[in-house]
Chain A
Amino acid sequence: MIARSQRERLLDAAIDVVAEKGYAKTTIADLTREAGISRTTFYEMYPDKEACFLAAYDAAADVLARRVAAAFEAEGEWPARTRAGLEALLGSLAAEPAVARLALVDFGAAGPSAQRRYRAALQRMTPLFDEGRDFAPEGRRLPPNTSRMAIGAVVGLIADEIEAGRTEKLPDRLPDVLLAALSPYLGPEAATSEVEKR
């Protein structure tokens, strides 16, 4: 039990310290100090800074992905459920700017492994988007990578806001983000009317 809470404290610390100092400048000493654990305990859990950062990354991505999936399970047709999922995503990111920055902007600095984790985390949203293909009248004619591109558009718009320092205002961007998610499947006109419903 104690080991678990130390691990949790360490992962929280990793997110906060990296968000504040950047990955390159973060040291293991920063992490142990922030988490209130010893160096020995650190090395019992992780071999190095990168492993710790990646574990923190996975934990943060996991929480986000589960929140989005739970919201997506709401009632209604695919566009309404996508709206609910994206609302949950924007709300969660706005409530935790440090996690938002780490998850969508700073991961790149930690090198290729972090980049692969990032892609894997994004892929977890694919089934939610793929449903758009079944829902869309033109679903069968859409290009093969439509879901990957729709996810890329959503994440790109969110990352722009975070980099511009507007993380707290992310929920206000729902119309643009929802349009970017729906358009690839429904076309801009039908997607716009879905965005305006409510």
Chain B
Amino acid sequence: MSPRSSVNGKASSSDRTKELDELIEQEQLPAGRADLAEPPVAHSQRERLLVAVAQTTAEKGYNATTIGDVCTAAGVSRATFYELFKDKEDCFHAAMELSLADAMGSIVAVYSPDKPWATMVRDAAAAFLELLAARPTFARMAMIEAPASGERAFQLYASGKRVLQSLLERGREDPVEEEAIPTSAARAALAAAESLIVGQILTGNTARLPELLPDVVYITTLPYLGQEEALRQAREAEREHPAADR
């Protein structure tokens, strides 16, 4: 029943941070970065196209979006488009990579070996929801259009999910009864949170995603900490991030 007060110190600080980097690398995800503002300051035609593909697919859906739409939105010529990208999917894929790098960046930024696992989950969930809320266009592209846009973007999305799943699985390190936790627990918890987030984006409430923090913290800590402690973690998350009250 007692809350986890520390993570089992098997690895040193730097080892554990490295683990996360390795995890990201192993999934062949771009390294985290967290400096993309929305609307991003477009330093190059390439970046303008990446922002434009995110915007047009968010508005029209991936299938209905044409290269012409993307070029018009970016103010870039078709010839330039084809110098930079092979086709629509290639451009979309590059934009997906950028947003995944952001998402990983937001998690790397709060990941610390000195934090107990539950604190890490609270902080990572808060950072992730705030990132999506702050970049609604990218949120829609990454969470909604990715499955519709072909195999490559879908695989990127799946890789991102696997990284989160591995992080969640660390809740196993010191559970009350480890053998009682089925292997499907992390997938179920992530699917629950994902479905909630996607529903919120589809109903046009992306800006209010941070309000879902207590729900997300509850469902992701539940399999590892039990109901009483998961409810406590949800209240704690709400207290730490009062934006979730509004």
The interface of chain A, by Cβ under 8 A from chain B, is 24, 108-112, 115-116, 119, 122, 138, 141-146, 148-157, 159-160, 175-176, 179-180, 183-184, 186-190, 192
Contact = CB atoms under 8 A, between A and B. Distances in A.
B61 A112 contact: yes
Contacts of A184: 192, 218-219, 222
Nearest to B182: A176
Given A146-B215, A157-B188, A186 B227 contact: yes
Interface residues of B, number: 37
B192 A149 contact: yes
The prevalent SS among residues of B at the interface is helix
Contact of B63 (A109, A148, A153, A175): A109
A189 B180 contact: yes
Contact of B192 (A110, A144, A153, A189): A153
B196 A149 contact: yes
A177 to B, nearest CB: 8
A188 B226 contact: yes
Nearest to B230: A187
B141 to A, nearest CB: 13
Interface string B185-201: 10111111111100100
The prevalent SS among residues of A at the interface is helix
Contact of A111 (B64, B190, B226): B64
Contact of A141 (B184, B185, B191, B231): B231
Given A24-B63, A109-B148, A183 B223 contact: yes
Contact of B196 (A110, A142, A152): A152
A188 B188 contact: no
A189 B176 CA distance: 11
> Interface centre among B61, B185, B192, B228, by most A CB within 10 Å?
B192
Cβ-closest 10 pairs across A and B: A156-B191, A152-B195, A187-B227, A149-B192, A180-B188, A153-B192, A111-B61, A108-B147, A153-B188, A143-B215
> Interface centre among A108, A146, A149, by most B CB within 10 Å?
A149
B74 interface: no
Given A111-B62, A145-B215, 10 more contacts: A108-B144, A108-B147, A111-B61, A119-B199, A148-B199, A149-B196, A153-B195, A156-B190, A179-B188, A183-B188
A152 B214 CA distance: 16
B131 interface: no
Contacts of A159: 191
A145 B196 contact: yes
Given A109-B63, A157-B188, A160-B187, A179 B182 contact: yes
A143 B62 CA distance: 34
Contacts of A190: 227
> Interface centre among B147, B191, B212, B231, by most A CB within 10 Å?
B191
Contacts of A146: 215, 218
Contacts of A111: 61-64, 148
B180 A150 contact: no
B214 A157 contact: no
Interface in B192-246: 192-196, 199, 202, 212, 214-215, 218-219, 222-223, 226-228, 230-231, 234
Given A144-B215, A152-B191, A188 B202 contact: no
A180 B212 CA distance: 19
A155 B234 contact: no
